[in-house]
Amino acid sequence: MEVVQLVEVSAEELNRAINIIKWAIRELGISEKEVFIYITDDHNRVRELLGLDKVSHEEWPIKYMRGDDTDVISIVPTRLSILSNDDASIMALRETALVRVMNDPVLISIWNPRPDIGDPLIHRVSLALLRRVVDFVIAQSESLTRYLVSTFNKDEVRNLLLTCEPTVDCAIAVLALDVPLSIEVAGNVGLGRSLWHEVSKNIDNEFSRRYDDFRDFVRNNFNVEYAYNYLLTIFRRPQPR
């Protein structure tokens, strides 16, 4: 693992940043030789070096990037240092898991659709399922699942279940946040269903019933094209204004 330091930071911040990525790499069974770490104060500085387009939206202190067949993890230690251990750990695990998700042909086939499908909607389904695949990789380790559980935002998902109309937009939004689904797909069905029951308890509306059907299908057919096709059979597209 090569570390490229673009900015000066305190020794404490530097050590925490490097050690948390080393920990995530080790726990996920990834070779250190596959990963380059950049220490920076702005992820766009790393993008510029890699020849990638800059972005203007706010980002996590840890960010996976891919450039010229190179897996890069960019870290802003000053921002990482203010996070709790659990928040920093799940962030490191998710961004590091992308090293596997972007290189393993089996995992790629789950979330990456065929290029001949022209509907922009499938790319939104793909991004949501990518998040499920990342958490699936993490949930395959029983010792790491606790980080998924402790940082799962039940209130956010429950609010969507309560307020959503039965549209594809809402279904994709919930899929992107459905951490229990990834835990179930990884084999810990009891824990995943228990978490989902906590979120959906006493909610009985048209959207929640259809989403329960949809997530059951996705759990048993963990693939972007299957998910996309089934999504269109049970949820409606938003009407153009």
Domain with 95, as residue range(s), is: 2-103
Question: Are 81 and 179 contained in the same domain?
Answer: no
Same domain, residue pair 186 and 88: no
Residues linked to residue 38 through DSSP beta bridges, in sequence order: 4, 74
For residue 195, give the nearest of 153, 225, 164 by alpha carbon: 153
Instruction: Mark out the alpha helices in the chain (DSSP H runs).
Output: 11-27, 43-50, 77-80, 85-101, 105-111, 120-139, 145-151, 154-163, 168-177, 179-185, 189-200, 206-220, 224-234
In a domain, 209, yes or no: yes
φ, ψ of residue 72 to 5 degrees: the values are -120, 135
131/67 same-domain check? no
pLDDT tens across the length of the chain (241 residues): 889 999 999 999 999 999 999 999 999 999 888 899 999 999 999 999 999 999 988 889 999 999 888 899 999 999 999 999 999 999 999 999 999 999 999 999 999 998 888 788 999 999 999 999 999 999 999 999 999 999 999 999 999 999 999 999 999 999 999 999 999 999 999 999 999 999 999 999 999 999 999 999 999 999 999 999 999 999 976 555 5
pTM value is 0.93
Residue 74: strand pairing partners: 38, 63
Domain shared by 125 and 93, yes or no: no
- 118 and 206 in a single domain? The answer is yes
Number of structural domains in the chain: 2
